[in-house]
Every structure is written in C-alpha cells, then in structure tokens.
Copies of this chain bind each other. A is one copy, B any other.
Amino acid sequence: MMGSSEKIEQARQDYIESLAETMEMYGLSPSMGRLFGIMFFHDEPMTLDEMRGLTGMSKTSMSTGVRALSRLKLVHKKWQKGVRKDLYEAEHDQFRSFVDFFSQLWEKEIELNQKTLKKAEKNLTNLLNDPELTPDEKEQVESDLSKLEQAQLYYTWLEKLAHSFESGEIFKHVPIPNQKE
C-alpha cells in the first residue's frame, strides 16, 4: 500500500513521462523532456543542483539541457536577489510555449530553405539563356523551376502562418476555450 506522498509522486511521474514522450516526438531527447516535466511541476525556480538532484543526472547535462530548453523558450532564466546561482523556471503559459516553439521552427525552415531556393532559381534561370542547352535539358530546367516556384509560394504562406502564431492572431481564429469545457 502506498502512502499519500508516494501517490502524489506517482501521479506526477506518470504525467512527466508522458510529457517527455511527447517532446521526444518533437525532436527533443527524452531526458530533456523529463527535465522540462520536472520543472513544470516545480513551483519555485530551480538551480542546476536541484535539477541534478531530481533527475539523478550530471550537472553538465543539466547545464546543456536547460540551455537547450531556454533557446526553445520552454524555460526561462529568472533572477532572484541574494541568490548567486542561476535560476530557471518552466514557462507557465503552455499556449505561449506552443506558438513560440512552432513559429521558431518554421522561421528556421524558411530562412534555411529560402536562401537555397533563391540561389537555385537564379542559377536555373541563367541556364535558360545558355545556347548549349539541349531541348531535353531545357524541359528539365523548366520543370524544376516550376517546382521551386510552387515551393516559394509555400514559404510565403508559412511565413504568414508563423506570424499569426507569433503575434497571437491565431487565437482569434482558433479561440482558447472556456475554463469549463
């Protein structure tokens, strides 16, 4: 038979594990997910050493893990007077975490691919003027160009979507439901 404290702990652990699995789907490592889960339930901002204590992992891992989570804005550094150690807490607003996470991801995709896309488009367009181009090759180039043009359209749209997430406009179109569902 479990005592009350153990039951509380068990419920937490179960949900944390579930959260971690989810975050794994999104490309984070399981331990980073678990770390986030722990911070999600921890009411006070945490130090690296506390994290080490609760995860049982090395301080180095905590340091890198929490920095990765910070970059994704899932976790924030929080300053407290009189405390020398760095303090971190999980972002309380899950909606914010969500929209930030995906808009960041998509912005990165856009930046990365659009650069390459433009360059490829330019090279191919130049090639169209090359007199040595065989008819077959020309057709090939045109086919590729039309694919890239289509892709460009997609990136333009994605940019708009990312903005809509970042700005919170998305919540106008898909509103947050009332407390009582």
Which chain A residues have a beta carbon within 8 Å of chain B's beta carbons?
Answer: 3-5, 7-8, 10-12, 14-15, 17-19, 21-22, 25-27, 40-41, 43, 94-95, 98, 102, 105, 108-109, 112-113, 115-117, 119-120, 123-124, 127, 130, 132-134, 137, 140-141, 143-144, 147-154, 156-158, 160-161, 164, 170, 173-174, 176-177, 179, 181
Bound complex: CA A116 to CA B108 (Å): 32
Neighbouring B residues of A105 by C-beta, 8 Å: 25-26
A119 close to B14 (CB less than 8 A): yes
* Shortest Cβ gap from A38 to chain B (Å): 13
Bound complex: CA A113 to CA B117 (Å): 38
Neighbouring B residues of A153 by C-beta, 8 Å: 176-177, 179, 181
